[in-house]
Amino acid sequence: MVLKQVRAQKVTVVFVASDCAENTRKRFNDKCRSYNVSLSQAFNELELSNAIGQKRSVIAVTDRGFGRKMLELLST
């Protein structure tokens, strides 16, 4: 689902769990780089899952303002 949204260029930021499978991390890193989408690995799977209430290792943010602010807060 997230890869489909990245390809459609509807995603601002992708959060990939730092402890997810290497294959998953590489796939999203490559796709985000080729479609010029920001990628963050600042959180682990438990933190991402707790943030949205569902077990996930990859989360896509589609709102530009929210995504920009998240990246800004993570960089400080």
Distance CA 35, CA 8 (A): 9
Task: Spell out the domains of the chain, with CATH numbers in brackets.
Answer: 2-75 (3.30.1330.30)
Q: Supply the pTM of this predicted model.
A: 0.92
What digits encode the pLDDT tens for the residues 26-69? 999 999 999 999 999 999 999 999 999 999 999 999 999 999 99
pLDDT at 76 over 90: no
Give the model's confidence band at 17: pLDDT under 50 very low, under 70 low, under 90 confident, else very high: very high
13-16: strand order across its sheet: 38-40, 13-16, 58-61
Q: Which residues contact 48 (CB under 8 A, 6 or more apart)?
A: 15, 17, 56, 57, 58, 59
Distance CA 73, CA 25 (A): 22
